[in-house]
Structure 1
Amino acid sequence: MRSANSDSKKKHRATIKDVARASGLSSATVSRVLSGYEFVKDGTRSRVMEAVEQLGYVASLPARSLAGGRSRIIGLLVPNLDNGYVGTITQGIDKALSSANCDLVLYTSHRQPSKETYYVNAITNGITEGLLLIAPQFTSTYLAALRERDFPYVLIDQADPTGNSGVVEATNYQGAYEATRYLCKLGHTRIAFIAGALKVHSAAERLRGYKAALAECGIPSSKKLILDGDYQQQGGYEATKHVLSNVDPPPTAVFASNDISAFGAMDAAREHGFSIPDDISIVGFDDVPQTSLVYPKLTTVRQPLEQMGQAAAEMLLERIEDRSRPPQRITLATHLVVRDSCTPPKLQRGERRSPFTETGGSVLPTN
């Protein structure tokens, strides 16, 4: 049976005064040590940290903010948690924030603009120092609110039409252009495109790159072959199922705006009795870890996702340190990664295979 004394000890939370008493130092000195003040003797720091460990002292977040003038907490708003795209970007963010001794708090909007607005308001009214947003579906209203409050933030894989936001992105147009051109050079002339959420700048740029490559190859763009997949696996599945069932002749290749919708396209193609790549070639975009685990391994456009996350976090930390810094825009290169999901199309009646078989552009053959 526990005694009343043991219960009261358990319920007592150590304070800075307790640490000061145990270390034989003043509360002000303890506060300086715990807030990371540099000009403290090593012996003094050791005494404080020994007392902290002995007492199990943990600073509350408001206390940390008040003691050091900073909370060192960064918010991250993501659309969902169900794919490797967000996870890989977050790895890069975490790496940069850990190096800067900052904490990360995650918020998930479930791709709902109303939730994005709610979280942005909550974050800016709390003790969070800055905000990173991955591919938000944003409204101009809350971006304007962030700027009015001079609240540091950076957009990842999204753009601000006003040009007033820090942005880290990849060459979405060029990546889609190279992927489509690669399929054209294999001999494909009926290439379906599964679009992403067109409110997101990256999705619009990929559609633009697809159309530009078709035009250069002398292939007319067909509305019947451009479908909405909304960056979702189910969306990719439904779009591919529709185009294979309702377009005659069906496409010989599918270019999906992201890997997740490409996985859905692969499911639909198999369900329809198509072999990949013998009957239909499929290309994705992002190069999430699962692309080399599916069968066949997916040809895709590689975004430097972890590097994008790291660059965005570093940009945000610089903005927090110097609010007068003008917004920056960093664009990182994409590369086509050729794996096993593409091949020249089967000869169709009355058609000839394209003489082009080389794989020009930024092509990285991989295992």
Structure 2
Amino acid sequence: MARIGIRDVANAAGVSLGTVSHYLNHPDRVSAEKAKRIQDAIERLGFVRNNAGRQLRLGHSTTIAYIVPDVSNPFFATIAEGAERRAAAAGLSMFIANSGGDPAREDSYLELFEEHGVRGMLVASPRPIEHRLAAIRDRGTPSVLVGRAAEGAAQPSVSIDDVSGGYLAVQHLIEAGCGHIAFVGGPLGIRQVADRLQGASNAVRAAGTVTLEVIDVEPRVIATGHRIAAQLLERPAERRPDGIFAVNDLLGIGLIQTLATGGVRVPEDIAVVGYDDIEYAENSLVPLTSVRAPHEEFGIAALDLLLAVLEGAAASHRVFAPDLVVRRSTRRAN
């Protein structure tokens, strides 16, 4: 079956080709009466716009890509919402791809989007990737690194001050009376995880009498939190931490669920702090105290940096300061 084109739409609506073109690209230039006739014809004929042809006329793509390591994590989903909303306002569409944290899969998506000529990319990666993005940039496709600060000045990035975030989390546990704190998260080779641990260590050193136990685990998901909590429950009560800093909320939620069902009172026996302040944190079995990152602002900032580069601006970097949101998981009775 032959593809329906704008000439077919024009004939069916009784208008010129130019009027249909205006309707598709500049609808404000078409009267309401003609717009209705054109839309009725489009629906009746099943016309689908040929965006490739439009991009050829414009001289550039109207799509961008966002590659994330875990699309099921609400943190990345909320960032995507903010970025997509800002992209739509700029007349751009956004593709989202889930790498699953797999380097080979991530590379295949980078190749795919470059081959398809996207206008730019947002990339959240758990691995060092700037050299790869630099090569793609040199071939004409700019990108913004999302979630970690770029090491090179030429690579735009949007990140959170994770050292400060880790400090806030553990300082809060210390102020809540915790003396033996466990840091749960990994792998420690990931920059964000290492920075949060550095902040936690700084808070412990400043306190002087507090100990920090590092439990290096992955993946950073609820099931891993269940597993670590089960291991802690196997210890005698006096050998368990009295405070836990989970490197993200999914771990924190899993920890709380298994600790609570195992008879441990949260926060009276063990206080728990998470990171990211995803939607589920507030609705956890015990509402989870968390270090908040500005989710939607994060996505908007990333898209704005990409738009600026596309307009010829030099690469720049945004670093957001985190906040602590205190909930029941650390509020001990005085």
Per the normalisation by structure 2, the TM-score is 0.88
* 3-state DSSP of counterpart to 1:131: strand
Q: 1:232 is matched with which residue: 213, 221, 224?
A: 221
What is the alpha-carbon distance in structure 2 between the residues aligned to residue 45 and residue 194 of structure 1? 62
What is the alpha-carbon distance in structure 2 between the residues aligned to residue 242 and residue 332 of structure 1? 35
What is the alpha-carbon distance in structure 1 between the residues aligned to residue 126 and residue 20 of structure 2? 42
User: Deviations 1:180-224 (Å, cap 9, x if unpaired)?
Assistant: 1111112211000012444443222111110111111114654x4
Post-superposition offset of 1:73: 1.2
Q: 1:215 is matched with which residue: 197, 201, 205?
A: 205
Paired AA for residue 268 in structure 1: T
Counterparts of residues 180-195 of structure 1 (less than 5 Å)? 180-195=170-185
Alpha-carbon distance change, 190 to 220 in structure 1, aligned in 2, over 3 angstroms: closer
Alignment match, 2:314: 326
* 3-state DSSP of counterpart to 2:239: coil
Alignment match, 1:5: none
What is the alpha-carbon distance in structure 1 between the residues aligned to residue 266 and residue 234 of structure 2? 17
Larger displacement relative to structure 2 (47-56 or 176-185)? 47-56
> Any stretches of 5+ residues in structure 2 without a counterpart?
none
Post-superposition offset of 1:325: 1.7
User: Deviations 1:286-328 (Å, cap 9, x if unpaired)?
Assistant: 11111111121111111111110111122222322x2x32111
Work out whether 1:125 is the aligned partner of 2:115. yes
Post-superposition offset of 1:157: 0.8
* 3-state DSSP of counterpart to 2:145: strand
Per the normalisation by structure 1, the TM-score is 0.80
For the 8 Å contact 1:235–1:261, the answer to whether it is kept is yes
For the 8 Å contact 2:179–2:211, the answer to whether it is kept is no
Counterparts of residues 151-162 of structure 1 (less than 5 Å)? 151-162=141-152
Post-superposition offset of 1:272: 4.1
What is the alpha-carbon distance in structure 2 between the residues aligned to residue 201 and residue 164 of structure 1? 19
Paired AA for residue 78 in structure 2: T
Post-superposition offset of 1:105: 1.2
What is the alpha-carbon distance in structure 2 between the residues aligned to residue 243 and residue 211 of structure 1? 21
Post-superposition offset of 1:35: 3.9
> Any stretches of 5+ residues in structure 1 without a counterpart?
1-10, 346-356, 358-367
What is the alpha-carbon distance in structure 1 between the residues aligned to residue 30 and residue 296 of structure 2? 38
Post-superposition offset of 1:134: 2.7
- What is the aligned-residue RMSD (CA, Å)? 2.8
- Percent identity, aligned pairs only? 29
Paired AA for residue 130 in structure 1: G
Paired AA for residue 313 in structure 2: R
Post-superposition offset of 1:83: 2.5
Alpha-carbon distance change, 32 to 103 in structure 1, aligned in 2, over 3 angstroms: same
Paired AA for residue 337 in structure 1: V
Q: 1:143 is matched with which residue: 112, 130, 133?
A: 133
Alpha-carbon distance change, 212 to 331 in structure 1, aligned in 2, over 3 angstroms: same
Larger displacement relative to structure 2 (273-282 or 54-63)? 54-63
* 3-state DSSP of counterpart to 1:274: coil
Larger displacement relative to structure 2 (250-259 or 199-208)? 199-208
Alignment match, 1:338: 326
* 3-state DSSP of counterpart to 1:225: strand
Larger Rg: 1
Work out whether 1:304 is the aligned partner of 2:304. no
Post-superposition offset of 1:147: 2.1
Alignment match, 1:365: none
For the 8 Å contact 1:266–1:282, the answer to whether it is kept is yes
User: Deviations 1:108-153 (Å, cap 9, x if unpaired)?
Assistant: 1111011111100110110321111234434344223222213121
Counterparts of residues 99-110 of structure 1 (less than 5 Å)? 99-110=89-100
Post-superposition offset of 1:43: 7.8
What is the alpha-carbon distance in structure 1 between the residues aligned to residue 282 and residue 111 of structure 2? 39
Larger displacement relative to structure 2 (81-90 or 274-283)? 81-90
Alpha-carbon distance change, 119 to 270 in structure 1, aligned in 2, over 3 angstroms: same
Paired AA for residue 317 in structure 2: R
For the 8 Å contact 1:244–1:272, the answer to whether it is kept is yes
